[in-house]
Amino acid sequence: MNTQTGRRPTILDVAAAAGVSKSLVSLAVRGDPGVRAETRARILDTADRLGYRSNPWARSLVRGRSQSVVVLVDDLRSGYHTDVVHGVEDAAEENGMAVVIGDGRRDRGALRGRLERLMSLGPDGIVIVSGQADSAMIGEFAARLPLVVVGRPVDLPDGAGQVSNDDRMGMRLAVHHLVALGHRRIAHLPGSPRPAAVARRESYERTMAELGLGAHVRVIPTATELVDAVAAGEADAATAVCCANDRIAVDLIGRAVDAGVDVPGRLSVAGYDNLDLAAQVRPAITTVDQPRRAMGALALRQLADMLADGETRREVVTPTLVLRDSTSPLVEDPPIA
């Protein structure tokens, strides 16, 4: 039961009660400078007394703008996505815009369905934070509304803006760190076939080659396989791993513990993404951090710019390495590479 007595007051009711025209009420409530101070005060008072609230639909209808954007994420549960969303929200607040969050639930169909539903709210633009979204879908929605992608899809269609992290640089940081600790037999646990994961794997391979460690390149498909080799004490088993992302690193560490393989004692593990989880598990995971909130804020500002002048950009931000407890100096004598 809401206590609205009859219908909500409109601009007309306020005008009548304040003894002015409705146009003047409109100007006053929007803070237009062309209204005498005392008149404005009287009108605002009346509006307050009547409990007047501007009708958003009427406003949007006549302005052709809703002052809102949709931010669509792959998975709400992921701290990664949530941080980006917070960056978008903070920048939106500065722009006086509302942000509507949509959750793709890690499912392409759900992602699309959700966006379609949210389009019915009449947003002014779209931010997509998802590796799930294919470029056809992105292109289709970019044709309807200004759109910015946070991340790195295969081939971003023209007309879509972009904010991404430098995956190549990030993985280099991880590999360099492990090498600096004395490791040579550094394996890689790859992620999905998505672009970010592919870029990270390629960077791993390239960086190893650059460091003269090409012979030690091992892309190992499953954590089990890797852990088994280490547990069995195989001569060429890896002493360190860089994972495509933190989830994989967490899973790996779990399996290592189960198999009695000490991390980082016998196996140093580096992650990527700096999820909350990476700091929560034991040992806390050394990982690559993307400036997620900054990425979200950049995305929203780019969207605002697109709304103003239609300009599209591709922005790249630089990741950093976060040192924690899952990596340590090599203890055994490694065979010289």
Residues forming contacts to its own copies in the complex (CB under 8 A) are 1-4, 55-58, 60-61, 66-68, 76-77, 79, 82, 85-86, 89, 93, 98, 100-103, 105, 113-114, 117-118, 120-122, 142-147, 158-159, 250, 254, 257-258, 276-277, 280-282, 310, 312
Least spacing, CB of residue 120 vs DNA, in Å:
11
Residues from 133 through 172 that contact DNA (CB under 7 A)? none
Least spacing, CB of residue 14 vs its own copies, in Å:
17
In whole angstroms, give the CA distance from residue 249 to residue 256: 10
Least spacing, CB of residue 141 vs DNA, in Å:
19
| Residues 182 and 329: beta-carbon distance below 8 Å | yes
Of 131 and 146, CB closest to DNA:
146
67 near DNA, rule: CB under 7 A: no
Residue 157: partners with Cβ closer than 8 Å, 6 or more residues away: 135, 138, 139, 142
Q: Binder to DNA among 4, 16, 30, 117 (CB under 7 A)?
A: 30
User: Which one of DNA, its own copies, none interacts with residue 11, CB within 5 to 8 A by kind?
Assistant: DNA
Q: What are phi and psi of 190, to 5 degrees?
A: -80, 165
Least spacing, CB of residue 49 vs its own copies, in Å:
16
- Which stretch, 54-62, 87-95, 186-194, 264-272, contacts DNA (CB under 7 A)? 54-62
Please give the size of the binding site for DNA, defined by CB under 7 A. 29
Of 37 and 308, CB closest to DNA:
37
User: What's the Cα-to-Cα distance from 315 to each of 161, 162, 166, 296, 318, rounded to whole Å?
Assistant: 8, 6, 10, 11, 10
Least spacing, CB of residue 93 vs DNA, in Å:
20
User: Which one of DNA, its own copies, none interacts with residue 85, CB within 5 to 8 A by kind?
Assistant: its own copies
Of 29 and 173, CB closest to its own copies:
29
Least spacing, CB of residue 105 vs its own copies, in Å:
7
Contacting residues toward DNA, per CB under 7 A: 7-8, 10-12, 20-24, 26-27, 29-30, 34-37, 39, 52-55, 58-59, 61-64
